[in-house]
């Protein structure tokens, strides 16, 4: 009997935990389970303010419920005229002063963390990434390493990374809920924020400033890896070759087509001297997702090449000549996909990326 | 027009003409109510379309482009074309009566305000039929708005400019009215709280709307005449738009919320049968909120990159607003305390408002904390917050005010049973829709998202939210049925159906077109209540029965607004074909011509003779 009770208890505790966890959202997207410095700072202020506010709410509701039940009109009392009180000085002082004190409790940590999150003292000695937001994708240029990548930002774990952000069209906003709060990406002035992740993994980033048709699909990822993996990745990116030749025969055909058309916007090497027109495709073979929103697969790449407008309305690819004159056959797209999937900065699979791909595929089945 | 107009049945045509030319604040109030109600339903339908699109992940009920038009027009319509005019409806219907005046200070301008608002509102919506409405969000951030293709944003700019001019005039009108036209004995500190809030809101309009006007002018030049105020590549700055917009936009929240507080103050006091607790504190809290409302605009811009100093200052200033707002909440609670609380539909809305708005205020303090706002900003958390404030505060007040003042405006009383059905459907629907959105935001759902991906744990929350939205829709339909039923039944009520406290209840429902035969003598706060407590039936007159001076009706405000409406099309389409410029000349010609006509033609109004007033009383 006792055992049975114990099982029930464990089970109910477990299901309670599941509910709580799922109520907190997807664990590499939600702001409710912080996994980085900025998100943690914000979360602490959120907690303090929620606690203070719940206290206020309880006080208000207690008086409210009491008053409604106690002083509700009773039968036969319709004409009763209650005492016409003008006010009460003591009470009024109380509910002016106490809220001020409560607000100070919130204001002090708010100001402290606001300054802390704007701290740029370590900027010189840290990794600096120039982030460029565009309708509807992101470009990341590593300032000192002279490499760039698109859509997926690699950073080492437990390391402060400074992001210097500028838009080349309308305003975007860089939000990485699990790791850090957001910062707008303006066309006028460069904004700087830093991020620091506590755990390896791939984290979802979202554009949070309304920027047009595919605003809701302008996702990016931040790939948090160990310091070694990061160094390897940077080394690999530096060695990506603009003259790379494809291995398989279909990929070679694909590369030929790519060179005749796609290359005018998409570079296949990570050198930061390449102009930023379309997303940089160096290391495309190791991407976590296609176009930032589709599970990584050859079909997804083909689908993207054939119908980019259906996947991301209004995106820049729509002006590509092959879409204007409908000159792309599905077989061609498949060959191009073969070629693109060969583009890898490191042959060694990155743990975080592999795990992420596995989770996402399971998720959607 | 020198004799009393016969109140016989008029033909439909002459009723229409009467409304087109009226300068009577009560008829203008009815027009604001109808037009605002229409736009409220329109905005509501847009909201339902938005929620239906989000009912499941990767839904394709509407296209991305159309969705962006829907969210833009939902916000713009609800703020400028529904909430504002509905607030103006009650200000028009009630404020002159509450201060014991026969009309507003400038009846002609009052009519002009209405027609400018209506033509501006129509202009905004014309975009739907000419290739797409505005699609840059109701905040129209540059450069998205300045580069948005098509004419949608042009309609937004011109439409808001025209209706904004109407609002500005309305604000000035009410300021002058309240300063100058209070009845004998109606000192400032005896004014009912609704009048006080209308007064402070009008002052906010006076200072806030010019910022919007300037911003819209700059944007109009950027879009239509090739300037680059907001274009960084031409040396402009896009962030300036955000400042201009929010210097207007934040006080706008209080322009809506303060009169809402006023409505609740009247209702809570009346149906508790008690004087408003801490009246003086309430007045000062109102003024303080109005003042602080101008100091906090940049809390909408914590993530823009203003730096920690500016962010901290605006965070603390914003939190400070919680203090006077808290004072108000406690004063309402203590007005209820010890009262004889009668719970009818109007009171139900007021009682529903207190916890709802408290939640909105709580999240308000939370989003004011700049470093926490880095997470909340532009997510569904913020969507939830401002709907708690604007629906839970303002829309609840509009529903409450509709039930409370309907008898005064139309002489009939709305059905209580249906009214309560509306309340419960709307109240439950509201919390279902928006409470969960706090969590959706923190779970990673940004605002203005046309769709969300599968497998992000956002499905259930969005589904619940959509169900709630439809409950609100049903609640609103029940209110419409209620209005039709009540109007068809047409059972007349007395001038004072609620055992009211303020001056509007001292005269018949609906009031005669001159309001007060003799101006009343006000002897304190809640003047009618004082008289009733001393055993009198009504107010003591402050003047002998004399001739009443009344303004003439005029068609000029309608034509003047029509001129600007026509000119608006000229401005928009001259960009494509310079020939359209002729419309600018035609339209502006009409408007300026009307102004000239109004200036040179003496219109001294007319008098109702005291003999006629006596005769009417004798009948």
Per residue in B568-587, pLDDT tens?
999 999 999 999 999 999 99
Residue with the bigger pLDDT between B168 and A23: it is: B168
DSSP category for residue A151: S
**Is there a domain that residue B278 lies in?**
yes
pLDDT of B9 over the 80 cut: no
pLDDT for residue A349: 85
Tokens of B518: 């003799």
d(CA B535, CA B462): 57
Banded pLDDT at B129 (limits 50, 70, 90)? very high
Question: Which domain does B470 fall in, by range?
Answer: 20-554
Residue A92 has its nearest CB partner, among B278, B363, B453, at: B278
A85 class by beta-carbon count within 10 Å (0-12 exposed, 13-18 middle, 19+ buried):
middle
CA neighbor of B434 nearest in space, from B396, B402, B399: B396
- Summarize pLDDT for A161-207 with one digit per residue, the tens: 999 999 999 999 999 999 999 999 999 999 999 999 999 999 999 99
C-beta atoms of A204 and B444 within 8 A? yes
Whether the CB-CB separation of B230 and B236 falls below 8 Å is answered with yes
- Summarize pLDDT for B24-69 with one digit per residue, the tens: 999 999 999 999 999 999 999 999 999 999 999 999 999 999 999 9
Looking at the DSSP bridge assignments, the partners of residue A194 are A162
**Is there a domain that residue B619 lies in?**
no
Dihedral sign (CA B200, B202, B205, B206): negative
Q: Which residue of A has its CA nearest to B303?
A: A183
**Torsion angle, CA of B523/B528/B529/B530, rounded to 10 degrees?**
30
Strand A127-134 versus strand A161-167 pairing type: parallel
- Residue B182: give its domain's CATH number: 1.20.210.10
Residue with the bigger pLDDT between A258 and B8: it is: A258
**Is there a domain that residue B292 lies in?**
yes
d(CA A314, CA A252): 31
pLDDT for residue A326: 86
pLDDT for residue B613: 87
Banded pLDDT at B607 (limits 50, 70, 90)? very high
Q: Which residue of B has its CA nearest to A57?
A: B358
Residues of B in contact with A60 (CB under 8 A): 329-330, 333, 354-355, 358
Residues of A in contact with B442 (CB under 8 A): 25, 30-32, 46, 177
Residue of B371, B381, B435 for testing the chain A interface, max A β-carbons within 10 Å: B371
pLDDT of A365 over the 80 cut: no
pLDDT of B6 over the 50 cut: no
d(CA B403, CA B349): 9
d(CA B72, CA B153): 10
- Summarize pLDDT for A320-360 with one digit per residue, the tens: 999 988 888 999 999 999 999 999 988 888 888 999 999 88
Helix or strand holding residue A225 (H, E): strand A220-225
Tell whether B277 lies on the interface with A, counting CB pairs under 8 A.
yes
**Is there a domain that residue B559 lies in?**
no
Question: Distances in Å between the alpha carbon of A159 and those of A112, A182, A183, A227, B121?
Answer: 21, 18, 19, 9, 53
pLDDT of B194 over the 70 cut: yes
C-beta atoms of B354 and A26 within 8 A? no
Count of structural domains within chain B: 1
pLDDT for residue B614: 85
**Is there a domain that residue B561 lies in?**
no
Percent of chain B's residues with pLDDT above 70: 98
pLDDT for residue B3: 41
CA neighbor of A345 nearest in space, from A279, A268, A283: A283
pLDDT of A233 over the 60 cut: yes
Banded pLDDT at B108 (limits 50, 70, 90)? very high
Residue A91 has its nearest CB partner, among B141, B334, B444, at: B334
User: What's B401-465 look like in SS3?
Assistant: HHHHHHHHHHCECCCHHHHHHHHHHHHHHHHHHHHHHHHHHHCCCECCCCCCCCCCCCHHHHHHH
d(CA A239, CA A232): 11
Banded pLDDT at A295 (limits 50, 70, 90)? very high
- The phi, psi pair for B604, rounded to 5°, reads -90, 0
Sequence-distant (6+) residues with CB within 8 A of B435 are B359, B384
Chain B residues 221-240 with CB within 8 Å of chain A: 232-233, 237-239
Helix (H, G, I), strand (E, B) or coil at A284: helix
Percent of chain B's residues with pLDDT above 90: 95
How far apart are the two ends of chain A, measured CA to CA in Å? 40
* Distance of residue B370 Cα from the nearest chain A Cα, in angstroms: 6
pLDDT of A93 over the 80 cut: yes
Whether the CB-CB separation of B364 and B393 falls below 8 Å is answered with no
Helix (H, G, I), strand (E, B) or coil at B534: coil
Tell whether B524 lies on the interface with A, counting CB pairs under 8 A.
no
Residues of B in contact with A313 (CB under 8 A): 63-65
DSSP category for residue A143: T
**Is there a domain that residue B586 lies in?**
no
pLDDT for residue A6: 66
ipTM of this complex: 0.93
C-beta atoms of B358 and A86 within 8 A? no
**Is there a domain that residue B618 lies in?**
no
- The phi, psi pair for B135, rounded to 5°, reads -140, 25
Q: Which residue of A has its CA nearest to B271?
A: A73
* Distance of residue B471 Cα from the nearest chain A Cα, in angstroms: 24
pLDDT of A48 over the 80 cut: yes
The interaxial angle of helices B238-272 and B396-410, nearest 10 deg, is 60
Domains and CATH numbers, chain A: 37-73+89-117 (no CATH), 127-365 (2.60.40.420)
Provide mean pLDDT across the span B288-316: 95
CA neighbor of B55 nearest in space, from B471, B460, B430: B460
Residue of A43, A216, A220, A300 for testing the chain B interface, max B β-carbons within 10 Å: A216
C-beta atoms of B65 and A114 within 8 A? no
Tokens of A40: 């943690």
Q: Which residue of A has its CA nearest to B275?
A: A84
DSSP category for residue B519: P
pLDDT for residue B602: 87
Tokens of B469: 């939205």
CA neighbor of A351 nearest in space, from A224, A220, A214, A177: A224
pLDDT of B126 over the 70 cut: yes
**Is there a domain that residue B584 lies in?**
no
pLDDT for residue B565: 97
Dihedral sign (CA B158, B160, B166, B169): negative
């Amino acid at each position: 009997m006792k055992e049975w009770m114990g099982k029930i208890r464990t089970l109910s505790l477990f299901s309670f935990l599941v509910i709580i966890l799922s109520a907190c959202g997807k664990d590499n997207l939600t702001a409710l389970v912080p996994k980085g410095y900025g998100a943690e700072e914000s979360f602490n202020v959120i907690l303090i303010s929620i606690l203070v506010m719940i206290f206020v709410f309880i006080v208000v509701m207690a008086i409210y419920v009491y008053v409604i039940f106690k002083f509700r009109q009773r039968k036969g009392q319709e004409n009763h005229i209650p005492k016409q009180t003008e006010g009460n000085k003591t009470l009024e002082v109380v509910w002016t002063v106490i809220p001020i004190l409560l607000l100070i409790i919130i204001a002090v940590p708010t100001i402290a963390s606001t300054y802390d999150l704007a701290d740029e003292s370590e900027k010189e000695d840290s990794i600096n990434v120039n982030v460029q937001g565009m309708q509807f994708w992101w470009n990341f240029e590593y300032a000192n390493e002279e490499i760039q990548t698109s859509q997926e930002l690699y950073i080492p774990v437990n390391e402060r990374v400074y992001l210097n952000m500028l838009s080349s069209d309308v305003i975007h906003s860089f939000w990485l809920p699990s790791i850090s709060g957001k910062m707008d990406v303006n066309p006028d002035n460069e904004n700087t924020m830093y991020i620091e992740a506590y755990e390896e993994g791939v984290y979802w980033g979202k554009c949070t400033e309304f920027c047009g048709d595919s605003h809701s699909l302008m996702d990016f990822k931040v790939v948090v890896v160990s310091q070694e993996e990061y160094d390897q990745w940077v080394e690999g990116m530096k060695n990506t070759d603009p003259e790379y030749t494809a291995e398989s025969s279909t990929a070679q055909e694909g590369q030929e087509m790519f060179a005749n058309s796609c290359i005018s916007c998409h570079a296949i090497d990570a050198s930061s001297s390449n102009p930023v027109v379309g997303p940089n495709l160096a290391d495309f073979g190791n991407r976590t997702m296609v176009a930032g929103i589709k599970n990584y697969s050859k079909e997804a790449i083909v689908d993207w090449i054939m119908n980019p407008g259906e996947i991301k309305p209004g995106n820049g690819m729509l002006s590509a000549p092959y879409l204007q004159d409908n000159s792309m056959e599905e077989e061609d797209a498949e060959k191009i996909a073969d070629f693109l999937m060969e583009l890898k900065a490191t042959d060694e699979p990155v743990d975080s990326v592999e795990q992420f791909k596995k989770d996402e595929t399971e998720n959607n089945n | 027009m020198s004799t009393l107009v016969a109140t016989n049945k008029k033909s439909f045509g002459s009723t229409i003409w009467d409304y087109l030319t009226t300068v009577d604040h009560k008829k203008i109030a009815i027009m604001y109510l109808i037009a605002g109600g229409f736009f409220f339903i329109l905005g509501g339908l847009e909201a339902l379309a938005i929620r239906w699109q989000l009912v499941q992940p990767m839904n394709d009920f509407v296209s991305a482009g159309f969705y962006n038009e829907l969210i833009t027009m939902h916000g713009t319509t609800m703020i400028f074309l529904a909430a504002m005019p509905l607030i103006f409806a009650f200000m028009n219907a009630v404020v002159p009566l509450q201060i014991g005046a026969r009309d507003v200070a400038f009846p002609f301008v009052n009519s002009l305000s209405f027609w400018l608002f209506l033509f501006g509102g129509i202009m905004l919506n014309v975009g739907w039929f000419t290739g797409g409405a505005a699609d840059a969000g109701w905040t129209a951030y540059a450069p998205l708005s300045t580069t948005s293709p098509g004419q949608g944003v042009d309609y937004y700019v011109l439409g808001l400019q025209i209706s904004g001019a109407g609002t500005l005039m309305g604000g000035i009108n009410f300021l002058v009215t309240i300063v100058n036209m209070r009845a004998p004995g109606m000192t400032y500190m005896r004014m009912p709280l609704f009048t006080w809030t209308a007064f402070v809101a009008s002052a906010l309009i006076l200072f806030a709307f010019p910022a919007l006007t300037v911003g819209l002018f700059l944007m109009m030049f950027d879009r239509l005449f090739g300037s680059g105020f907001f274009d960084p590549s031409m040396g402009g700055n896009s962030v300036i738009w955000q400042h201009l917009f929010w210097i207007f936009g934040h006080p706008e929240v209080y322009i809506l919320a303060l009169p809402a507080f006023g409505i609740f103050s009247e209702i809570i006091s009346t149906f508790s049968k008690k004087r408003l607790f801490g009246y003086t504190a309430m007045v000062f809290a109102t003024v303080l909120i109005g003042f602080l409302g101008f100091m906090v605009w940049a809390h909408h811009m914590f993530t823009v990159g203003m730096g920690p100093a500016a962010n901290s200052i605006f965070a603390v200033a914003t939190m400070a607003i919680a203090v006077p707002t808290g004072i108000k909440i406690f004063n309402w609670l203590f007005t209820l305390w010890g009262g004889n609380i009668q719970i009818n539909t109007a009171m139900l809305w007021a009682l529903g408002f207190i916890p709802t708005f408290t939640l909105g205020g709580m999240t308000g303090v939370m989003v004011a904390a700049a470093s926490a706002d880095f997470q909340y900003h532009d997510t569904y958390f913020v969507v939830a917050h401002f709907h708690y404030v604007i629906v839970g505060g303002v829309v609840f007040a509009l529903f409450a005010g509709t039930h409370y003042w309907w008898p005064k405006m139309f002489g009939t009383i709305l059905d209580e049973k249906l009214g309560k059905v509306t309340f419960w459907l709307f109240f439950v629907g509201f919390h279902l829709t928006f409470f969960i959105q706090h969590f959706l935001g923190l779970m990673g759902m940004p605002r203005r998202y046309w769709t969300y991906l599968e497998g992000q744990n956002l499905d259930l929350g969005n589904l619940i939210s959509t169900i709630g939205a439809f409950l609100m829709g049903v609640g609103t339909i029940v209110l419409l049925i209620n209005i039709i039923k009540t109007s068809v039944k047409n059972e007349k009520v007395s001038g004072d159906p609620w055992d009211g406290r303020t001056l509007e209840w001292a005269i018949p429902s609906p009031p005669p077109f001159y309001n007060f035969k003799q101006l009343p003598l006000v002897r304190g706060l809640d003047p009618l209540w004082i008289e009733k407590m001393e055993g009198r039936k009504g107010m003591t007159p402050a003047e002998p029965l004399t001739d009443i001076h009344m303004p003439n009706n005029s068609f000029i405000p309608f034509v003047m607004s029509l001129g600007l409406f026509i000119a608006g099309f000229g401005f928009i389409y001259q960009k494509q074909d310079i020939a359209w410029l002729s419309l600018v000349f035609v339209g502006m010609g009409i408007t300026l011509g009307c102004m000239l006509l109004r200036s040179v033609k003496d219109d001294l109004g007319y008098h109702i003779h005291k003999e006629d007033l006596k005769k009417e009383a004798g009948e």
